[in-house]
């Protein structure tokens, strides 16, 4: 793989280390980029200092009380105030950490006229606040996250087309796509063709561990062919230690 570089997700990888120490571990393994799922739970000044020299390519906005079952607010009628607070906090964090992308989670809700209208209004408002930061939205399969509003690729593309904002792009997690759709290559092709691809993530379909060496070979080759210059986030649970499990990712220069 020559075009996109891989980014270590510091909330999923290197969990054998303390959170701030994970940046050092990723750097030692040759990564130059990282993504962060819950940076708002940490001291941002301390986190920024430890990340020095690493590119932060994506962060998530706060998604509510995760332990209580909240998974974001974008599609939730009556939760507009919570959505706006989370979006503004996320935009501030993205600016402070130098992240060009901010993922806004949609929440647990059925797909209906009301939830679509709520989502469109919320994302439209957030896009007006985003400045130079690109917002991303991610379909998440309902096996892993039951009841999540945004769960199919066609649904996401329909909403992005209706929104019509260049500030909002698709975060295409190839693992979630394969679980929900059965395959991911055609969906990646469609997102590229429509100019809607903002960020890519991978995990092995079997157990959400490390991918097999060639599991996403066709998708990664397509990104190379199309000259896509974004990053591919590694969002998986290492079977053992993170460093020992990186053998699938070769050559190290791709990091």
Q: Which CATH number do you get for residue 104?
A: 3.20.20.150
Name the DSSP letter for residue 14.
-
254, 12, 102, 112: CA torsion to nearest 10: 120
For residue 10, give the nearest of 33, 1, 2, 30 by alpha carbon. Answer: 33
pLDDT at position 4: 62
* pLDDT at residue 67, rounded to an integer: 94
When pLDDT is cut at 50, 70 and 90, the band that residue 47 belongs to is very high
pLDDT at residue 3 is higher than 60: no
53: alpha, beta or left? (left if phi > 0; alpha if psi -120 to 50): left
The pTM score is 0.96
Does residue 211 have a cis peptide bond before it, meaning omega lies within 30 degrees of 0? no
pLDDT at 1 over 60: no
Domain that holds residue 116: 5-254
> So what's the pLDDT on residue 195?
97
* Bridge partners for 81 per DSSP: none
pLDDT tens profile 85-121: 999 999 999 999 999 999 999 999 999 999 999 999 9
Domain count, the chain: 1
Q: Among 34, 39, 36, 12, which Cα is nearest to 24's?
A: 34
b or e along 45-79 (b: 16 or more beta carbons within 10 Å of the residue's beta carbon)?
Answer: eebbebbeebbbbbbbbbbbeeeeebbbbbbbeeb
Over residues 26-30, mean pLDDT: 95
- Is residue 112 within 8 A of residue 70, CB to CB? The reply is no
Average pLDDT value for residue range 215-230: 95
pLDDT of residue 78: 96
Q: Is 181 a catalytic residue?
A: no
Q: Can you count the helices (H) and strands (E) in the chain?
A: 8, 8
**Looking at residues 233-249, what average pLDDT do you find?**
93
Separation of alpha carbons 156 and 111, rounded Å: 11
Choose the catalytic residue: 70, 210, 215, 235: 235
pLDDT at residue number 148: 98
Q: What is the pLDDT of residue 255?
A: 76
Based on the residue annotation, tell me whether 212 is a catalytic residue of this protein: no
Residue 249: pLDDT band (50, 70, 90) is: confident
- Residue 34: what are its φ and ψ, rounded to 5°? -140, 160
Catalytic residue among 70, 138, 210, 219: 138
Q: Is 248 exposed, middle or buried (CB count within 10 Å of its CB: 0-12, 13-18, 19+)?
A: middle
Per residue in 199-222, is it b (16+ CB within 10 Å) or e — as a string?
Answer: bbbbbbbeebbbbeeebbeebbee
pLDDT over 60 (residue 253): no
The whole-number average pLDDT for the span 134-141 is 98
């Amino acid at each position: 793989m020559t075009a996109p570089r891989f980014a270590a997700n510091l909330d999923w990888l290197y969990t054998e280390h303390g959170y701030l120490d994970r940046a050092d571990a990723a750097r030692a393994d040759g990564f130059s980029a990282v993504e962060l799922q819950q940076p708002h739970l940490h001291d941002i000044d301390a986190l920024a200092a430890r990340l020095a020299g690493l590119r932060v390519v994506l962060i998530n906005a706060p998604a509510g009380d995760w332990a209580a079952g909240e998974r974001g607010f974008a599609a939730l009628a009556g939760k507009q105030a919570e959505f706006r607070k989370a979006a503004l906090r996320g935009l501030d964090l993205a600016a402070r950490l130098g992240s060009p992308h901010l993922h806004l989670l949609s929440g647990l809700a059925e797909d209906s006229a009301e939830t679509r209208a709520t989502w469109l209004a919320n994302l439209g408002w957030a896009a007006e606040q985003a400045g130079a930061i690109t917002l991303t939205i991610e379909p998440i399969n309902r096996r892993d996250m039951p009841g999540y509003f945004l769960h199919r690729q066609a649904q996401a593309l329909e909403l992005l087309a209706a929104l019509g904002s260049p500030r909002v792009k698709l975060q295409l997690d190839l693992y979630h796509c394969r679980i929900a759709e059965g395959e991911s290559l055609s969906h990646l092709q469609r997102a590229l063709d429509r100019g809607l691809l903002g960020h890519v993530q991978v995990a092995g379909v079997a157990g959400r561990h490390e991918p097999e060496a060639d599991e996403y070979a066709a998708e990664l080759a397509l990104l190379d062919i199309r000259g896509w210059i974004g990053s591919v986030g590694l969002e998986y649970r290492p079977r053992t230690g993170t460093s020992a499990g990186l053998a699938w990712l070769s050559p190290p220069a791709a990091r």
